Amino acid sequence: SLSSPHIFNEIENLDQPQSQAPPESSTTWKPGSLHRSKTAPALVVLRDVQQQTSQVPKPKSESSFIIRQAFVLLSIYLFVGVVIYSFNTDHFSGVETHPVVDALYFCIVTMCTIGYGDIAPLTPATKVFACLFVLVGFGFIDILLSGVVNYVLDLQENMILTGIQMGKVKEGFSARDYIVDVAKGRMRIRLKVGLALGVVVLCIAIGALILFFLEDLDWLDSFYLSVMSVTTVGYGDRAFKTLPGRFFAAIWLLFSTLMVARAFLYLAEARIDKRHRRIAKWVLQREITIDDLLAADMNHNGFISKSEYVIFKLKEMGKIGEKDISQICNQFNRLDPNNCGKITLPDLLENHL
C-alpha cells in the first residue's frame, strides 16, 4: 500500500546518498531491488507524468482584445467616412459648420441610426455610400456593445463588489446581501439594471444641459432633443446646428446610444433570470413521480442514483440538454477504453504515455 510508512521511507532513501551502512538484517537491501507495483503507481511516477502532460490552457477573457479591435475598426470606419464626406460636402444638404466636424457628426448619427435629417445625401453616389455606411455601422455597434460597454459595466461592477467586500458587516443586515448574489458570485441582475438605467438618465441629463447652453434651446426642447437622441428616434424637428454642439454630439451620441441598448439587454436578461428562478423553484419543490423515476433511470437498473437525479433535475431546469450530456459521455468513453464504467489511474497513464 502507498500509505505504508515503510514504502515511503524506502523511496526517500533512494534520493539520499548512501553514506551510512545499511542496518543489520537477514536480507541485505540492494539499490534497484525496490520495484513498483503495476496496479499502484508510485507518487514519483505520478509526479513525472504530471510534469510531462500538456494541458489545454483555459480560455481567457477576450475583453481587452475586443476593445482593441473595436477601437481600431471604429477609427478606420470613421476615418473613411470623414474623408469621403469632406471631399463631397457639396453633395450633402444641411447647415455647414466645419467640414471635419460635420463629417464626424454625420458618421456618428448614421452609425447610431438616429437620422435627424439635418445632413442628408443628395446625389446617387452619396446615397449609395450612405446605404453601405449604415449597413457596415451595424457591425460596429454590435462590437462596441458587446465589448466596450460590457467592459465598462463589468469594471463598475467589480469596483462595487470590491468596496462591499472590504467594508462588509459580519453580523446584522448588510446591503451586501441585497447587492451581491453569493451563490453566483456576481451582482444581482436588478442592481445591474438599475446601474444601466442610472447611466442612461445621467446621459440624458448631460445632453439636456449641454444643449441648453450650446444650442440656445429652452429646457423643454433641450430635454426633448436629448431623449430623442439617446433613444435613437430622431424626428428631425430638432438637431445639432452649432460647431461645438456637433463636436459634443459626435462623442455623446455614440456612448449614450450604446448605454441605452445595454440597458434594454439587461432588462431582457432580468426577465429571463426571473423566469429561470421560477422554474427552478417549481422543479425543486415538486414531488418526484413514477414517470420521473423511469425518465431519470438512464442505466435502466430500476433505481435512480444521486448523479442520475442531479442530471434529471438540471435537465428539468433547462440548465443542461441532451447534447451537452452526449458530449460529456463521449469524452468519458474515450477515457474509458475498457468500458468498465469508471476512469482509473492506469487508463490515464496509458492515454498520456
Q: What residue spans define the domains of the chain?
A: 62-167+183-283, 284-351
- Can you give the pLDDT at residue 16? 45
- Can you give the pLDDT at residue 18? 44
Which is more confidently placed, 212 or 165? Answer: 212
Residue 44 has pLDDT above 70, yes or no: no
Residue 216 has pLDDT above 80, yes or no: yes
Q: Specify the long-range contacts of residues 233-236, CB closer than 8 Å, at least 24 apart.
A: 233/114, 234/109, 234/114, 234/115, 234/116, 234/117, 236/115, 236/116, 236/117, 236/118
- Can you give the pLDDT at residue 341? 76
Residue 293 has pLDDT above 90, yes or no: no
- Can you give the pLDDT at residue 248? 93
CB count in 10 Å sphere of residue 226: 24
pLDDT class of 219 with cuts at 50, 70, 90: very high
- Can you give the pLDDT at residue 93? 86
Mean pLDDT of 270-296: 84
In this predicted structure, which of 72-81, 185-194, 325-334 has the lowest mean pLDDT? Answer: 185-194
DSSP one-letter string for 47-63: HHHHHHPPPPPPPPP-H
The sign of the torsion formed by the CA atoms of 284, 288, 292, 296 equals positive
- Can you give the pLDDT at residue 221? 92
Q: Which residues contact 26 (CB under 8 A, 6 or more apart)?
A: none
pLDDT class of 202 with cuts at 50, 70, 90: very high
Rounded CA gap, 10 and 23, in Å?
13
| pTM (2 d.p.) | 0.60
Rounded CA gap, 14 and 18, in Å?
9
Percent of the chain with pLDDT over 70: 66
Residue 252 has pLDDT above 70, yes or no: yes
Mean pLDDT over all residues of the chain?
A: 75
Q: What is the pLDDT of residues 131-161, one digit of tens each?
A: 888 888 777 766 666 666 566 666 655 665 5
Considering the four listed CATH numbers 1.10.287.70, 2.40.10.10, 3.90.1010.10, 3.30.2010.10, the one that applies to the domain covering 62-167+183-283 is 1.10.287.70
DSSP 8-state assignment for residue 180: E
- Can you give the pLDDT at residue 352? 65
Q: Which residue has the cell 438512464?
A: 298
Mean pLDDT of 303-327: 86
In this predicted structure, which of 155-164, 176-185, 214-223 has the lowest mean pLDDT? Answer: 176-185
Residue 4 has pLDDT above 80, yes or no: no
Q: Chain-centre distance of CA 215, in angstroms?
A: 39
> Which of 150, 127, 173 is CA-nearest to residue 66?
150
For residue 106, how many C-alpha atoms fall within 13 Å in the half-sphere facing its CB? Answer: 31
Q: What is the pLDDT of residues 86-125, one digit of tens each?
A: 888 888 888 888 889 999 999 888 888 888 888 889 899 8
Residue 339 has pLDDT above 90, yes or no: no
DSSP one-letter string for 314-343: HHHHTSS-HHHHHHHHHHHHHH-TT--SS-
The sign of the torsion formed by the CA atoms of 51, 55, 59, 64 equals positive
Q: Which three cell numbers stand for residue 163?
A: 468596496
CB count in 10 Å sphere of residue 325: 14
Q: Which three cell numbers stand for residue 165?
A: 467586500
pLDDT class of 17 with cuts at 50, 70, 90: very low
